[in-house]
Amino acid sequence: MMCTELKRKVALLGYWKECEQFYFLFKKKFEIGYIILKEGFKEYRKKESLPEVVMYGSEKAEEIISQYYIVLCTEQDECNRARWDYIFYKKSLYFEEDYMDSLYYRLEYDKRKMNQNKIKEKDIWIFGAGENGKSFYQRYEDTLHIRGFISNWSEEGEFCGLPVVRPEELRGYEDIFIVICSDAQVEMAEKLMNLGYSSEKDFGFPLEFQNKLFVSMGNCQENIIRIIVSLNRYFWQEYTVLYLEDSVWMKSSYADRRRQKLYGKLCDAVLYRDAFMDSGSEIGHGRLVDKEYHNAIKLKYPFYFFNGQFMQMDTPTVPDEAYINFEKYYKAIGGGYRDKEVAKMLEEGYSHDEIYAKVSGGNYWTKEEIVDNFNKAVKRVKVLDRKSSFHVADYILRNYKKELIFYDSIHINWNLACFLASQVAEKLNIDISYDESEMEEVRKSWFTKTNEYVYPCVAKALEMNFVEDIVYESKKGKGSLSNREFVEELIEFLQNVIELT
């Protein structure tokens, strides 16, 4: 629902900074009656130029939510958005019909504003000679024509090596655009409007420069690629990211289904799953993207599965009833193990010691069996590569002796994820620049341990000489485990699943 189509009175709900910005950009287009703050209400200092501010959860806020069209002025991460979708669903309020993301309106507005006024070609002045202004300067110093800073206290004289002036000193300057970078954004916006500047063409906020939309549709594999891509400085100078999570089998909320379609017309690039391959089905977003994402750069990404280094894991299939039951217990117990060999030995009555002796031995499978399985796994990836904008099989063949390509058979590992993120940057025609400390933080959060046991016989047959450095992860929060401890935890988990199912 575009701005011009909205007839009902509007209330903004979310965080104060986002609500204030949205109000100044859209007060001429919407009849905005209230701002509902999710948090920080007691500390918030009311500004006279804003509509009435009420606290979320109060009786008045509930009444407003039931009567007004709600614009969600919140962060666009998937957890935050999903929480609001659930809250509204319980109130019988529906996405697009009763509420909308502020991002949707802002993208439409920002694209038009930036393009019509050619803002990126103008001289940029940053209103706010503090940490927020410095952050904007450091982000865009090599891509925008930043001429200086504005402050109500020009005694500073210079900031970040550029001049600091008072707002009045810019009168008469032509082809300039002012970016408000301060928590005092309302007072600054009012000051500029009193000086004759317009929010529609003369000033705005940092988010307006991230007016390209990158949509990522998928789950674990697409998610980690999206996270690494988002750390690239040259990416987040231009792009806002919308992550619309699906399960492997295309299950997502009603609201995100609507978003998948609705944002198509505003999207500049989309990373989407084009195929899930098994014996009886092929599932993907291809038809939706072809129909709705006409102007976007399309990055096809199938659901990759590689068990060449984890021979104990079966190829995935679309779940039947038994598997759905397994999934329920799998999530309840908090496991991640799918070792068909250990499960088979448990069902045949082997003891824990016998199981460990077998899986840790050097001849559980023959070399011929292991190599044959590896070649079949690579072939499967090559078939998926044909449906992909990326080429994973070549990467596997170059690196399988040096590293785990996946940290279990369905989750890509760090180096492959970085390789795929670099391919995204190449296809978006942007350079790559990462903050190494941020990259290391993400790596440690996601990729320091593996989820599945590497059988010694597999490592030997494939000449995987790095296996002694593998760190195994406890599913019970015990930290790192030895080989024996990991297998014991695996046995316990599979024993519980067998009993429950």
Q: 481-498 b/e with 16+ CB inside 10 Å = b? A: bebeebbebbbbbbeebe
Residue 98 pLDDT exceeds 80: yes
pLDDT at residue 179, rounded to an integer: 94
pLDDT at residue 329, rounded to an integer: 45
Residue 5 pLDDT exceeds 70: no
pLDDT at residue 332, rounded to an integer: 38
pLDDT at residue 326, rounded to an integer: 47
pLDDT at residue 322, rounded to an integer: 45
Q: Average the pLDDT over 438-454 and give the result.
A: 83
* Mean pLDDT of the residues in the chain: 85
Signed CA dihedral, 211, 213, 214, 217: sign only: positive
Q: Average the pLDDT over 183-193 and give the result.
A: 90
pLDDT at residue 315, rounded to an integer: 63
- DSSP 3-state of 111: helix
pLDDT at residue 2, rounded to an integer: 45
Residue 170 pLDDT exceeds 80: yes
pLDDT at residue 497, rounded to an integer: 73
Residue 361 pLDDT exceeds 90: no
Residue 395 pLDDT exceeds 90: yes
Q: How confident is the model at residue 127 (pLDDT cuts 50, 70, 90)?
A: very high
Q: What is the pLDDT of residues 136-152, one digit of tens each?
A: 999 899 889 999 999 98
Residue 463 pLDDT exceeds 70: yes
Q: Which two tokens stand for residue 495?
A: 């024993």
Q: Which residue's structure tokens are 């077998």? A: 358
Q: How confident is the model at residue 8 (pLDDT cuts 50, 70, 90)?
A: confident
- DSSP 3-state of 147: strand
Quick one: which of 334, 357, 352 has its CA closest to 474?
334
Residues 6+ apart with CB under 8 A from 333: 493, 496, 497
pLDDT at residue 323, rounded to an integer: 46
Residue 48 pLDDT exceeds 90: no
Q: Which residue's structure tokens are 């024509």? A: 145
pLDDT at residue 316, rounded to an integer: 60
In the chain, the domains with their CATH numbers are 3-110 (3.40.50), 118-209 (3.40.50.720), 212-306+375-446 (3.40.50.12080)
Lowest mean pLDDT across 70-74, 115-119, 153-157? 153-157
Query: What is the percent of the chain with per-residue pLDDT over 90, rounded to a whole number?
Result: 47
Q: What is the pLDDT of residues 307-333, one digit of tens each?
A: 999 988 876 655 444 444 545 444 434
**pTM recorded for the entire structure:** 0.84
